[in-house]
Amino acid sequence: MPDLSSRVLELVASGQASSRTEIAQLLGAAPSTVSHVVAQLLDHGILAEEGTDVSTGGRPRKVLRIGGVDEYAVAADVGGGHARVGIVLPGGSLESVTNVPFALSDGPTVGLARLAELLDSLIGTRGAEGLRGVGLSLPGPVDVEAGVVDLPSRMPGWNGFPVAAWLEEHFGVPAAVDNDANCMAAGEQTVQPSSRRQAITIKAGSAIGAGIVIDGRLYRGSTGAAGDITHVRIDAAGDTPCSCGNTGCLETVASGAALVRILSAAGVPVSSTADVVRLASDADPEATRAVRLAGRYLGEVLAANVNFFNPDAVYLGGILSTLDPFVAAVRSQLYESCHPLVTQHLVIERASLGADAGLVGAGQFALQRGLAASLQELSTPIPQSTTRNRSVRV
């Protein structure tokens, strides 16, 4: 179990908490215990405290932040044909964000060298002394602890490659590698109200993924495969072959890749998910119909998960979520298929960070890795205590 100091740093780095009071509330810990841990972190310079926050009465609250004012992470959110790179600051702010062409099919050696070149240029603008970590979001299953991609279906040559170790050797700082939907879910959680502690975030692009947040923290499952709804079988898919080797998966009827295949077979000139989005945005009837149907199929599979999990919110991200017919179809199917008690207060909306959600999440994971490394380097261990709320996932 990660110690309490790591949880405190995670909340401060992500921007979810900026005071002892907020930390105690989110962790269900005794205020005295939180104050003791925060004091130790302040003494070691890992946290800093300054100014005052808006007070609700009584004594003004000091604001907590990560110790070094110039600390940051660099991160990349990789898709099927592009990468989004940028600088991520504690709290989730972004700088120097750019989109660049990127071919996963080139393999990890060529691909990582290309990303390293881009990230090195960002580090040059900021100064290497403030770099805490490097984060990478990838469109496939990831063994987070090992830092390797695990049996990806659309990433030839990446399976088992030591991605995190490669990055750490190149940059000389801790690296965090995770699945794109998980990064999106973690990034989105940093900007949502603290009352929304249970959420499902969908990334609907060339493929489909989901990130699950429980008690305000990303939930990966026992083998890191939690949220892999793209390979749930659905009647509408029939026996259509899927990239995973099975047939009838949701991906074959609701993903961007599926829409390209379906529309191409109907004689519509599309070669990428971006082409589908462009046509649907221009109200092309064939593309709009296909997009709406894809949203309905996604909603059908998602409804079973929403009924089971009963989340506070469902956030829709990825390029398909930019289309109103797609979002409307997902929302309609959830209201139709879920129990009224489940949807009574359910928020269903686009991810507020949009295309930046995955980048923010990858950067936050990198910052947390860097801070955890700083804790391990302390010569005097920080005394720890358990929380009162044993249901908090850590």
State the SS3 of 206-237: CCEEEEEEECCEEECCCCCCCCCHHHCECHHH
Percent with pLDDT over 70 in the chain: 92
Whole-number pLDDT of residue 394: 29
By the 8 A CB rule, do 314 and 334 touch? yes
- pLDDT for 73: 97
Q: Position of tokens 């499952």?
A: 221
User: Tens digit of pLDDT for each residue in 8-18?
Assistant: 988 888 888 88
Here the tokens at position 341 are 């008690």
* 72-185+355-374 topology per CATH: Nucleotidyltransferase; domain 5 (3.30.420)
Q: Looking at residue 54, what DSSP letter applies?
A: P
Fold: same for 4-69 and 72-185+355-374: no
Judge whether 252 and 239 are in contact, CB under 8 Å: no
Per the CB < 8 A criterion, the answer to whether 269 and 254 are in contact is no
Structure confidence at residue 45 (pLDDT): 83
Supply the pLDDT for residue 386. Answer: 43
**What are 186's two structure tokens?**
């973690």
Distance (Å, whole) CA 294 – CA 314: 17
- pLDDT higher at 131 or 154: 131
**In the prediction, which pLDDT does 13 show?**
85
Whether 55 and 21 have beta carbons less than 8 Å apart is answered as: no
At 46 the pLDDT is 85
Q: Which residues contact 95 (CB under 8 A, 6 or more apart)?
A: 72, 86, 87, 89, 126
Which pTM does this prediction carry? Answer: 0.87
Spell out a b/e string for 165-176, using b for 16 or more CB atoms within 10 Å of the CB, else e. ebbbebbebbbb
Mean pLDDT for 247-274 is 96
* CB contact set of 195 (below 8 Å; sequence gap of 6+): 312
Q: What is the pLDDT, as a whole number, of residue 388? A: 39
Residue 278's nearest CA partner among 330, 337, 322, 336 is 322
Pairwise CA distance, residues 26 & 11, whole Å: 9
Strand pairing category for 131-138 and 175-179: parallel
Structure tokens at 269: 């000139």
283: left (phi over 0), alpha (psi -120 to 50) or beta: left
Q: How far is CA 94 from CA 84, 239, 294, 364, in A?
A: 12, 44, 32, 11
Per-domain boundaries in the chain: 4-69, 72-185+355-374, 193-351
Handedness of CA 332, 333, 334, 336 (dihedral sign): positive
193-351: CATH number: 3.30.420.40
CATH of 4-69, one of 3.30.70.1400, 3.30.1360.200, 1.10.10.10, 3.90.320.10: 1.10.10.10
